[in-house]
A and B are shown apart, each in its own frame.
Chain A
Amino acid sequence: EDQVTQSPEALRLQEGESSSLNCSYTVSGLRGLFWYRQDPGKGPEFLFTLYSAGEEKEKERLKATLTKKESFLHITAPKPEDSATYLCAVQAGGSNYKLTFGKGTLLTVNP
């Protein structure tokens, strides 16, 4: 069974204080790993797709990396508007495209 574990559960940063979120996974044949951002009461917003170990993607203050067992979401010089829950999900090989999500990391950035 596919499993995704995210840590920490919650992270509080000061504005400008860089940090990383972790996503550990076990999956039978990784098709892709996805990062989403979710604001309270809203649907997840797609951020990145990573396909293979060693791959990196960047978007503004966010950078996602992937190894064979985990992924990191690095946040550089965060701003208060980066406060949200960040979700990691994996998609296994096969005929359906279901995503298996972790519980998420709740990030709070204080001004």
Chain B
Amino acid sequence: DAGVTQSPTHLIKTRGQHVTLRCSPISGHKSVSWYQQVLGQGPQFIFQYYEKEERGRGNFPDRFSARQFPNYSSELNVNALLLGDSALYLCASSLAGLGPREQFFGPGTRLTVL
């Protein structure tokens, strides 16, 4: 079975530009979460979507936005890029429901802002 897929793998942008990152969850998973991981740190939660609705938002500015499509794939958009947005962006999918829910991560998109 295919795992979580993300595109593109790498991306180089300049300050002020915007970027769109894409994610396809594991088949049957309806929840998608986005995380930002800077070098030497653990992943930081950005958004969680379930059934196309935002269910959680981390401490990130309004320049960050996301959406989930009817097929449960998701996009993360970042506007007005700053140097500090350079990071590995991770998408994770999970089943939803009661109890703890393991999240399975994709390979990530490495974003470099120059």
List residues of chain A with CB under 8 Å of any chain B CB. Answer: 4, 31-32, 34, 36, 41-46, 49, 51, 87, 89, 91, 95-104
Contacts and interface: CB of A to CB of B under 8 A. Distances in A.
A44 B43 contact: yes
Given A32-B101, A95-B55, 9 more contacts: A31-B100, A44-B43, A44-B105, A46-B102, A87-B43, A89-B42, A97-B56, A97-B103, A99-B92
Interface string B33-46: 10100001111110
Residue with the highest number of chain B CB atoms closer than 10 Å, among A32, A45, A91, A97: A97
Contacts of B103: 34, 46, 97, 99
A91 B99 CA distance: 10
Interface of B: 4, 31, 33, 35, 40-45, 48, 55-56, 58, 88, 90, 92, 94, 96, 99-108, 110
A71 to B, nearest CB: 13
B92 to A, nearest CB: 8
Contacts of B33: 97-99
A31 B45 contact: no
A89 B40 CA distance: 15
A45 B105 contact: yes
A87 B103 CA distance: 13
A31 B108 CA distance: 26
Given A34-B102, A41-B110, A87-B42, A97 B90 contact: no
A96 B56 contact: yes
Given A32-B100, A49-B100, A91-B100, A100 B90 contact: no
Contacts of A101: 42-44
Contacts of B107: 42-43
B69 to A, nearest CB: 19
A51 B104 CA distance: 17
Contacts of B48: 96-98
- Find the residue from A31, A41, A91, A98 having the highest chain B CB count within 10 A: A98
A91 B104 CA distance: 14
B90 A43 contact: yes
Contacts of A32: 99-102
